[in-house]
Amino acid sequence: MRRVKYFPEVMEIEAYVYTAGPVGTKWLESLRAGKLTAAYCPKCGRLFLPPKMYCPFDFEEVKELREIAPVGVVETYTVVERDFYGEPLKERRVLAFIKFPGVEGGLIHYVKTDKPRVGMKVKPKWRDERKGLVTDIEYFEEA
Amino acid sequence: MKVGIVGVGWFGFQPEVVDYSFREMMFKAAQRAYQDAGGLDPRSDVDAFVSCQEDFWEGIAISDEFAPDPVGGAMKSVYTVTGDGLQCVGQAYMMIKSGLFDVVVVESHAKPSDIVTLNDVMFFATDPISVRPLSLENIHALAALEARAYMDKFNVSEEHLDAVVEKAHKAGSKNPRAVYASPGRSRPDTPVVADPLREADIAKFVDAAVVVVLASERVAKSFNDTPVWVAGAWWSTEISSLELHDWAFPLHAREAADGAYTQAKIADPAKEIGFAEVDNRYSFKELQHIEALRLAPRGMAGELLADGAFCPGGRLPVNLSGGALAEGVPFEVHGLARLSYAVAVMRGDIKAQVDRREAAVVHSWRGVPTTTSTVAVLRI
């Protein structure tokens, strides 16, 4: 007899289109072009990542992205050894939060290294075929 | 106009509540809360209901519409808040303070055991442009980034985390609803998940529902002889981009605490607060939150905890319940779990090892990838 205590469902959320927005689109286009940029606030003069069309600090409208030097610093990192359900990963992965000099915020991304450390200088390893995604940077590596 | 807690009811706190859906869990918790409030009738005695929930936790769109009837609120004023249950307490506090409402019921429920792909659902809360394409296999890795930033900046050691885990499981072993409490739990013997976090640093999930009845001072004693007064409730969210939040210190918790302390006229929390229930869904979070709530100077909670200051019977016991590490994380119910335990200790329903029960602080954080905390100050 089939048990009816539970019945499986699949949430219909597989297909969804996110709008990157005016500044987000420019940022993704710059990634596709192999360039790192940050949002520039004309009021406070701050550069920040990830970019949005409003400054999170003073609510000013942001229209401009400025190219930044593609050398970041690992502010914090973790070596991920197991998945959420406790199973060992096939390959340990280093996830880091990377800051860029003079830029508020930064990027969360993978770093390819056997010896991660706080303060380590890293640079992006760009993919040959880029699509306009943050993963156009395959990973960061020691600079 | 003071605001009192006059009834508390909970149901579940099991890894999997097999026989009841979330609506039935709400109903059971509400029945118990209304009995605790002197047999209150929700159809005639309650002015409004507030429910804290999230669509994706339930697998239902517009789940607000499912809120009213399981707590007796159909055809009445029902508000839903997409946040932690303690934020609902804040809403109820404001509603009663306004003078427009005398009795407000607060509810939150969680059934993580129903979610087959929990990591994916949690990861769905990250920024779709800057984070989602990274496809993290483990959302806890974001907490691990915070853990290293905090430990590196404030010289917190793995031994300090060992002490948090040991304390949580020992305390939790006296808490009947702490299903994950295991007094012999040794953190160093558990595997590394995302360093510096080991398996024992990460709370498991639990199915639970909690209902709380709040009432104005004018009517509170008609429901309960021993109301616990809400002296302050405040919450705070940082910038929505995780990349722009402080990785080393939970400023949201500090903001929420300062707001609640101001309302409660508490100038020196470390002296005036008798005990605390705070979020410890990751071991290092207990230390951070102790510091954010000004119960210890920044970077000092680890040493003080290892010395016993925050243990049961210590100077200022923190998480007499064992917290989320012992009870589990029931999503948005978490704040009400902390609150309901504190209320039971203050009323004397739970005989806890605490010298001062007159003033307590309760804190909840919504977990990664959020930067939202709520703090409430309770008095008897």
pLDDT digits (tens, 9 = 90+) for A120-129: 999 999 999 9
- What are the tens digits of pLDDT across the range B179-201? 999 998 899 999 999 999 999 99
- DSSP structural state of residue B199: G
- What are the tens digits of pLDDT across the range B284-296? 999 999 999 999 9
A99 pairs with which residues across the strands? A73
How confident is the model at residue B55, as a pLDDT? 86
> Could you tell me which residues come within 8 angstroms of residue B100 by beta carbon, excluding any fewer than 6 positions away?
B47
| Partner B contacted by A110 (CB < 8 A) | yes
Complete domains list, chain A, with CATH:
21-142 (2.40.50.140)
Min distance A77 CA to chain B CA atoms (Å): 5
Do the chains contact at A80 and B137, CB–CB below 8 Å?
Answer: yes
How many beta-carbon pairs under 8 angstroms link A with B? 119
Is B163 a member of any domain? Answer: no
**Spatial separation of the C-alpha atoms in residues B280 and B275, rounded to whole Å:** 15
CA angle B324, B117, B367 (to 5 degrees): 30
Is B146 a member of any domain? Answer: no
Residues of A in contact with B247 (CB under 8 A): 75-76, 97
| Partner B contacted by A46 (CB < 8 A) | no
- What are the tens digits of pLDDT across the range A74-88? 999 999 999 999 999
Q: How many other C-beta atoms can be found within 10 angstroms of the C-beta atom of residue A86? A: 11
Phi, psi (deg, nearest 5) at residue A54: -135, 145
N-to-C CA span, chain B: 15
CATH code where residue B238 lies: 3.40.47.10
Mean pLDDT value of segment B221-235: 97
pLDDT band for position A2 (cuts 50, 70, 90) = low
Do the chains contact at B145 and A77, CB–CB below 8 Å?
Answer: yes
H helix or E strand, kind and range, residue B33: helix B22-36
**Total-model pTM:** 0.96
Nearest to A82 among B138, B247, B248 (CB): B138
- Find the closest chain B residue to A104 by CA distance: B244
H helix or E strand, kind and range, residue B171: helix B158-172
Encoded tokens for B222: 């008609």
Count of structural domains within chain B: 1
**Spatial separation of the C-alpha atoms in residues B117 and B36, rounded to whole Å:** 36
Mutate to test the interface with B, among A47, A48, A82, A91 (most CBs of B within 10 A): A82
Is the confidence at residue A3, as pLDDT, over 70?
Answer: no
Nearest to B141 among A78, A105, A107 (CB): A78
**Spatial separation of the C-alpha atoms in residues A126 and A135, rounded to whole Å:** 9
**Spatial separation of the C-alpha atoms in residues B245 and A110, rounded to whole Å:** 19
Whether B90 contacts B260, CB under 8 Å: no
Closest C-alpha to A93, from B159, B145, B153: B145
Question: Helices B283-292 & B251-264, crossing angle to 10 degrees?
Answer: 40
Q: Can you state the percent helix, strand and coil of chain B, rounding each to 5?
A: 40, 20, 40
User: What range does the domain containing B284 cover?
Assistant: 3-116+203-379
Whether B303 contacts B337, CB under 8 Å: no
Burial class (CB in 10 A: 0-12, 13-18, 19+), A15: exposed
Report the mean per-residue pLDDT for chain A: 94
Is B174 a member of any domain? Answer: no
- What are the tens digits of pLDDT across the range A27-49? 999 999 999 999 999 999 999 99
| C-alpha radius of gyration, chain A, whole number | 19
Whether A79 contacts A116, CB under 8 Å: yes
Is B70 a member of any domain? Answer: yes
Q: How many other C-beta atoms can be found within 10 angstroms of the C-beta atom of residue A104? A: 21
Nearest to B129 among A24, A78, A96 (CB): A24
Q: How far is it between the farthest Cα atoms of chain B?
A: 56
Per-position DSSP letters for A49-68, written without gaps between them: ES--SB-TTT--B--EEEE-
**Spatial separation of the C-alpha atoms in residues A28 and A25, rounded to whole Å:** 5
Is B147 a member of any domain? Answer: no
pLDDT band for position B214 (cuts 50, 70, 90) = very high
Phi, psi (deg, nearest 5) at residue B140: -60, -20
Measured in whole angstroms, the distance separating CA B21 from the mean position of its chain's CA atoms is: 22
Min distance A76 CA to chain B CA atoms (Å): 5
Percent of chain B residues topping a pLDDT of 90 = 95
Residues of A in contact with B138 (CB under 8 A): 80, 82-84
Residues of B in contact with A95 (CB under 8 A): 134, 136, 141, 144-145, 194
**Spatial separation of the C-alpha atoms in residues B64 and A22, rounded to whole Å:** 33
Closest C-alpha to A121, from A74, A76, A60: A74
Is the confidence at residue A7, as pLDDT, over 80?
Answer: no
**Spatial separation of the C-alpha atoms in residues B97 and B3, rounded to whole Å:** 7
Is B106 a member of any domain? Answer: yes
**Spatial separation of the C-alpha atoms in residues B309 and B326, rounded to whole Å:** 19
How confident is the model at residue B324, as a pLDDT? 98
**Spatial separation of the C-alpha atoms in residues B104 and B48, rounded to whole Å:** 5
Do the chains contact at B152 and A109, CB–CB below 8 Å?
Answer: no
Mean pLDDT value of segment B21-36: 97
Report the mean per-residue pLDDT for chain B: 97
